Copies of this chain bind each other. A is one copy, B any other.
Amino acid sequence: MAGNSFGQSFRITTFGESHGDAIGVIIDGCPPNISVDLDFIQAELDKRKPGQSKITTQRKESDTVKILSGIFEGKTTGTPLAMLIPNEDQRSKDYSHIQDKYRPSHADYTYQTKYGIRDYRGGGRSSARETAARVAAGAVAKLFLKELGISIFAHVSAVGNIEAPNLGDLDVNQLVAIREANIVRCADPATANQMITFIDSVRKEGDTVGGVVSAVIKGVPVGLGEPVFDKLHADLGKAMLSINAVHGFEYGSGFSGASMRGSEHNDIFVNPIKQATSLKTLTNFSGGIQGGISNGMDINFRVAFKPVATIMRSQSTINQQGEETEISGKGRHDPCVVPRAVAIVEAMAALVIVDHYLRNLNLGRA
């Protein structure tokens, strides 16, 4: 069984290679009667698209999305919603030099060995270009979440060793405004400047660097998540780990929780509005999820991205015939992937939340 679908009730299936005709996505299970704001969907894609600034790849793609089905007179119909994003700026000849070489820390070797064939142009299916389809689907999910009063915010919280301080008590709109005012998409302006300078210097060295995207989801009702395997954080974790270059996921206290004691880690319940079903906790080491089910507090998590594997330097490697060879980076690549990854993290989070919102209805007889 292949693995190009995600979600159960709000289920997406993506298709397409980096240098084929198009990439795209089908959403099956999209609730009917959602007003589809195409400008919003396009704006989400624009946050992920290449060529945005000096610290992203110079590859140019307009990433213009077209909806082929599933809407009627501007609203979703409950039938499959298919979206297509044509590929435009395909300089396939940029890749002829890697036709039979296995690029270090790329998927060339594993794809070739697994399938016995691969589209080597731009990484083919293993290219992060596939994530544009996720962002398009995630934008539709966000339109539904808006109706529900649920909002998602992600930003770049670390690049290399530069880490942003914890964000204060701003609302999501304020945070977005700050984040979008800088090209690295960090919601702390001072840190953003340091990050930009650093990425630019790394880029000039022909090198790349990793980073961390942190996210918060606000307004999630109590009850999302399906024990024991499809816990909400387990599906969030899978969603994030399925994004290209991600090597780690933690929520709530995360890895730091492993060195804490129960007496400090336990989140004490309080009942500020005195309704039995709307408790809060004084702390939130649980990250908004207890027993795999949302508890109504903010859901927060962090996602670690490794440095981009394509560097503008010569590296030794092996070719398809098993012989030693050299490879050097060509083409147009990102020195650091996290500024563009913010939109992908938000999209995947939106997909998980909508999926679990719809799954929860099945049991919702409380």
Question: What sequence of 0s and 1s flags, for each residue 102-126 of chain A, a beta carbon within 8 Å of any chain B beta carbon?
Answer: 1011110111011111110000111
A240 to chain B, nearest CB (A): 8
Residues of B contacting A294 in the complex (Cβ-Cβ under 8 angstroms): 110
Residues of B contacting A193 in the complex (Cβ-Cβ under 8 angstroms): none
A31 to B13, CA, bound (A): 17
| Contact A109 B242, beta carbon cutoff 8 Å | no
A79 to B311, CA, bound (A): 26
Q: Is A210's CB within 8 Å of the partner chain B?
A: yes
Q: Is A11's CB within 8 Å of the partner chain B?
A: yes
Residues of B contacting A8 in the complex (Cβ-Cβ under 8 angstroms): 1
CB < 8 Å neighbour of A4 from B15, B28, B124, B308: B28
Most buried by B among A117, A305, A362: A362
A279 to B30, CA, bound (A): 27
Number of copies: 4
Count residues on chain A whose CB falls below 8 Å from chain B CBs. Answer: 150
| Contact B33 A261, beta carbon cutoff 8 Å | no
| Contact B3 A228, beta carbon cutoff 8 Å | yes
A293 to B114, CA, bound (A): 8
| Contact B258 A158, beta carbon cutoff 8 Å | yes
The B-contacting residues of A in range 234-281, CB under 8 angstroms, are: 234-235, 237-238, 241-242, 247-255, 257-263, 265-271, 274-277, 279, 281
| Contact B253 A250, beta carbon cutoff 8 Å | no
If A110-B223, A116-B366, A258-B247 touch, whether A291 touches B68 (CB-CB below 8 Å) is: no
Most buried by B among A72, A320, A363: A363
Residues of B contacting A30 in the complex (Cβ-Cβ under 8 angstroms): 2
Question: What sequence of 0s and 1s flags, for each residue 42-77 of chain A, a beta carbon within 8 Å of any chain B beta carbon?
Answer: 000000000000000000000000101110100111
CB < 8 Å neighbour of A241 from B1, B233, B320: B233
| Contact B26 A15, beta carbon cutoff 8 Å | yes
Q: Is A189's CB within 8 Å of the partner chain B?
A: no
Residues of B contacting A77 in the complex (Cβ-Cβ under 8 angstroms): 17, 115, 117-119, 124-125
The B-contacting residues of A in range 285-311, CB under 8 angstroms, are: 285-287, 290-295, 304-311
| Contact B4 A80, beta carbon cutoff 8 Å | yes
A247 to chain B, nearest CB (A): 5
Residues of B contacting A254 in the complex (Cβ-Cβ under 8 angstroms): 247-248, 304
- Please choose the segment from A168-176, A178-186, A201-209 that sits at the chain B interface, where 4 or more of its residues have CB less than 8 A away: A201-209
Question: What sequence of 0s and 1s flags, for each residue 211-247 of chain A, a beta carbon within 8 Å of any chain B beta carbon?
Answer: 1100000000011011111110111011001100001
A21 to chain B, nearest CB (A): 5
CB < 8 Å neighbour of A210 from B11, B211, B259: B259
Binding site for B on A (CB under 8 A): 1-6, 8-9, 11, 13-17, 20-24, 26, 28-33, 66, 68-70, 72, 75-82, 84, 102, 104-107, 109-111, 113-119, 124-126, 130, 158, 160-161, 202, 207-212, 222-223, 225-231, 233-235, 237-238, 241-242, 247-255, 257-263, 265-271, 274-277, 279, 281, 285-287, 290-295, 304-311, 313, 315-318, 320-324, 358-366
Interface CB pairs A-B, < 8 A, 29: A4-B28, A13-B28, A31-B363, A31-B365, A32-B117, A72-B119, A77-B119, A77-B124, A79-B115, A79-B119, A84-B84, A102-B279, A104-B268, A104-B269, A104-B281, A105-B266, A110-B290, A110-B293, A114-B360, A237-B241, A237-B249, A247-B253, A248-B255, A249-B249, A257-B305, A257-B307, A262-B310, A270-B318, A362-B362
